[in-house]
Chain A
Amino acid sequence: MIQSLFYFLSFLAVLSALLVITAKNPVYSVLYLILTFFAIAGHYVLLNAQFLAVVHIIVYAGAIMVLFLFTIMLLNLNKDAEPQKSNYLKFAGMLAGGLLLLVLVAGLKEVGTNTQVVLKDSSIGLVENLGMVLFKEFLLPFEVASILLLAAMVGAVLLATKDKEVKKA
């Protein structure tokens, strides 16, 4: 039952990911991307990583997608007026992607040949356990991540504000 749920979620994720890159209208792309993110969150729940599933939904579906939608709406891009690449280039891109898939699958084929995903310690994905690891082993990266987010915030505000001095010149 839950095994078939895995295959259903995988199918949903791959299908909506394909629709993301083929949809003409950027707003539809964003909506399909949200669908992909929910499918991936379902995978996290299946792997018993509840903390990651919740954080994934909050960060991606809650914050990042709203940012994308606002940018598309504010720039008034919700029309399918995107100039297309030539079919020749598209075919070359798909061929390159297919070959990359071939190489990745062939290269990783021997890694875990039919080994089943056994949850050795099923509590590793819970908030309690993950918090202990995060604040003991990974305390420095955690603090550095806060500096990164601060820098990103300052950078985003700085980039998005109109530069008045350049306009005068």
Chain B
Amino acid sequence: MPQGSFTSHAMTEQSLHATDLTRTFGTRRAVNGVSLTLVAGDCLALFGPNGAGKTTLLRMLGGLLRPTSGSAAIEGIPLPGGAEVRARVGLVSHQTMLYDALTARENVEFSARMYGVENVRDAADDVLTRLGAASFADVRVRALSRGMQQRVSVARAIVHNPSVLLADEPFTGLDSAGASALTGMLAGLRDSGATIIIVTHNLEEALALCTAAAIMREGRFVRLDHAPIPAREEYTALYRELSVDAA
């Protein structure tokens, strides 16, 4: 099978494919017909105003919410696919999802257990070292700085080697050192073939990192660009224009 570039989707296996994904809460359409195709190594930056449905979209792809209609598949397995799909996805957000009373290592090992990882101890060691968290692995999360906690949170999210990583505003609360560390981690993951979706308000960092960009508004994509993405200045102007509320 020939090596496809990231743009020839037909040749490379799709790691994430969504068609007309919709989610309603009562009469409100939080996600209103989103279609998307991503392959291994794609990194999609998802921008949009608050309330656009970005978090809801990610929660659906992560298996936390059922779609109301439409379809989606991760590595060919249709959503909601239960345990099979969830095993392939990792979730990161501005909340660390860590237990403050436990150490970094205990948190990552617990996550490994929840994903059925075989060699829990080694897997946790490995991922903590890779993310530069080995030096504080045995410190309780409560005692760590925000940047260190986010690092451990990413470790927790990727200890099971997910093919898809969903990151919902992961840069929140990080100082510039923390943010560049996180960018480095995400770039490393992207390069090793994971598919990443990052929801963020951080245009600069995201555009440097990502191979695709989308702007979401009122539940739908008003713009979706695969590589090459427009230059930063052009995109910034576009974003401002598209996300300002009419009237």
Chains A and B are bound partners: no
